[in-house]
Amino acid sequence: MPIAADLLAIMPFPDIDPIAFSIGPLAIHWYGLAYVAGILLGWAYARRIAANDSLWPGNASPISRVQLDDFIVWAALGVVLGGRLGYIFFYDLSAVLDNPVRAVQIWNGGMSFHGGLTGTTIAMILFARRHAIPIWSLFDIVATVVPCGLFFGRIANFINGELWGRLTDVPWAVVFPTGGPFARHPSQLYEAGLEGIVLLLVLAAFVYGMRALKCPGFITGVFVCGYALSRIFVEFFREPDAQLGYLLGTTWLTMGMVLSSPMILLGLWAMLRARRQAALQL
């Protein structure tokens, strides 16, 4: 562990106002804009993929642009409701029980990816059944574009000066206003890079280079595994939530690791299942 003297201010936090702009009494936060940007960019990318018949089984897209446009509302509700409820149950339940109003105060803790994933999964299942869309193909198209939202969400976390990393003396360390006078890992940027940019490029390589959408469910497995591995890696640099701390008396195990670990097995199962199904159809 670096000594305290080494952890004093290395690089000041870029003082960016969390409020992007105001319209009268209405304050528009970067956090909210990040969700809007992620959803809209993901939607535009998904429309492009859905319109490319050559990427899909039988050279026919399983979903129309009109259906995809309708799904955007379902996805947004799944992300927001699931993300917030997930954060409450996984990270902040006792505080919300003491003060129920805190449940709608998204600036207190924000959202949980694992909760958002659960909410979006429920939305996808319901939407696919209602519109007779192959459910694994819908999973795949959403999985391909989710990194867009993850990237903008983590950048917003950085702007808000929240979810910062552990103490460090690396040259790129940042002193966050809410993190004390010591330098910390900018773990939000690590996540934006791994869960956002890297995962987006990996999935694109599978979609366009290996035509993996022709094997329904495989892209979903790649995404789930890729996210879990990225999150677990970054958790070694990220400060755990103050109300939880490290789990089971350790100095390293976090809730993020616990929630992400089963995702590796789930992702591997999805990939193997997809391969078996594709082999049976040959």
Extract the annotated binding site.
154
Token match 């469910």: residue?
217
Q: What is the rounded distance in angstroms from the CA atom of residue 9 to the CA atom of residue 189? A: 18
Q: Which residue has the tokens 């193909």?
A: 137
| Burial profile 264-273: b = 16 or more Cβ within 10 angstroms, e = fewer | beebeebbeb
Q: In this structure, are residues 163 and 255 in contact, taking their beta carbons and an 8 Å threshold?
A: no
- DSSP conformation letters of 58-101: GG--SS-HHHHHHHHHHHHHHHHHHHHHHHHHHH-HHHHHH-GG
Q: Which of 131, 191, 181 is nearest to 158 (CA)?
A: 191
CA 252 to centroid of chain Cα atoms: 22
Tokens of 73: 């509302």
> β-pairing, 19-23 with 26-29?
antiparallel
